[in-house]
Amino acid sequence: MAESLREIRLFVAAYEERSFTAAANREHGTQSGVSQHIRKLEERFGVRLFSRDKGRVTPTPAGDAYYSRCVEMLRLHEATHQTMLMFGSGVSGDIAVGLMPTMTRVTLAPAMRRFIAAYPNVSVRVVEAFSPILTQSVLNGELDFAIVPSIPGRPGLKSQHFLTTHETLVSRLEPARHLKPVRLRTLGPLKLVLPSVANTRRTLIETYIASNSVQVERMLEMDSMMGTLDFVATSDWRTVVPAIMLAADIDRLPLSVQPIVDPVQPLDLVLIEPSSRVIVPPAAAFLELLREEAVRLNRFWTGYFEDEAPAA
């Protein structure tokens, strides 16, 4: 007996979440219903798909193999559906995308203006959040895609490189320092405002600090990027900000922005999407405009991130 798409999605959710309860929440079912469905599959195939131990479920080799086929079936179904929609009159529908503040501050607006003009019948919902929230929302099927810092591979997600930018040191305005490369280890003890550990960039920044003997006097956590910039502009605290975020109005900000060099600190951004779905045409069009605007803005920094003759 062939499985329905609903049954396939229940198995995929259980595999990706490693929990029947989480799978039920994700697919709006019940834990007992998911458990019963998995048990019926195992009876039908005559193999164990999951090992169960103290409330944890772990896929068996048979479960791994079945999952890969289920993902292929779901993607094929979605692609077929989208192909049929293309025969309709014009592009329409709803899309939802997830972006970090890094992308929403200067990249989103020009991309959105171009998209609205080209696709007036498409409704766009943009969710701004940090990477853990966006990642889970993509896994749950709530977002068509998200742009996040590079993350380890995770079941249920496809990822591909989107853009490489770099980190900068941001301080209150001192014209002599503005746009001058800087070695963090040559500065006195820094008072740094950083995002919380919920932000993927926090780990990357702390690793850089520890690996390069950067002295830190005090550290303050703020998960508001705009609030952080306002605070830094009026104090002796500093922060670390992705270069692309400041490219559009670099000379109008009450801030000194310095490329971090020797060594540079690149920030790789990736596109993540559900592995069992394909990006719908309107979302693909919006993604391409985001990429074009991001590349254009990031081009401003060409030549700045060189490990040569930095200034403190």
What is the pLDDT, as a whole number, of residue 200? 86
Identify the band that residue 89 occupies on the pLDDT scale cut at 50, 70 and 90.
very low
Q: How far apart are CA 297 and CA 310, in angstroms?
A: 23
Q: HEC string of 146-172? A: EEEECCCCCCCEEEEEEEEEEEEEEEE
Fold classification of 5-85 is Arc Repressor Mutant, subunit A (1.10.10)
pLDDT at site 1: 45
Q: How high is the pLDDT of residue 90? A: 58
What's the pLDDT score for residue 50?
92
Which residues belong to CATH 3.40.190.290 in the chain?
A: 163-267
The average pLDDT across 83-90 equals: 57
Q: Residue range 33-45: average pLDDT?
A: 88
Q: What is the pLDDT of residues 123-153, one digit of tens each?
A: 999 999 988 899 999 988 899 999 999 887 7
Judged by DSSP in three states, 51 sits in strand
Q: Name the burial class of residue 11, with classes exposed (0-12), middle (13-18) and buried (19+) by CB atoms within 10 angstroms of its CB.
A: buried
* Gap between the Cα atoms of 18 and 155, Å rounded: 10
Q: Chain centroid to CA 176: how far? A: 35
DSSP 4: P
Is there a contact between 132 and 147 (Cβ–Cβ < 8 Å)? no
State the Cα–Cα distance between residues 85 and 285, nearest whole angstrom.
15
- Spatial separation of the C-alpha atoms in residues 54 and 47, rounded to whole Å: 20
Residue 27 carries which DSSP code? T
* Rounded distance between C-alpha atoms, residue 300 and residue 107, angstroms: 13
Residues 212-238: tens digit of each pLDDT: 999 999 999 999 989 999 999 999 999
What pLDDT score does 77 carry?
Answer: 81
Predicted pLDDT of residue 154: 82
State the pLDDT confidence band at 86, using cuts at 50, 70 and 90. Answer: low
Nearest to 232 by CA among 311, 306, 174: 174
pLDDT at 97: 97
Question: Which two three-digit tokens encode residue 20?
Answer: 């029947």
Which fold would CATH assign to domain 163-267? D-Maltodextrin-Binding Protein; domain 2 (3.40.190)
Q: Quick one: which H or E segment has residue 71?
A: helix 61-85
Boundaries of CATH 3.40.190.10 in the chain?
Answer: 93-162+268-301
CATH code for the part of the protein at 93-162+268-301: 3.40.190.10
Q: Where in the chain is the domain with CATH 1.10.10.10?
A: 5-85
Angle at 95 between CA 90 and CA 96, to 5 degrees: 170
Q: Give the pLDDT of residue 309.
A: 47
Residues 59, 80: Cα–Cα separation, whole Å: 29
Q: Is the pLDDT of residue 39 over 60?
A: yes
**What pLDDT is recorded for position 104?**
94
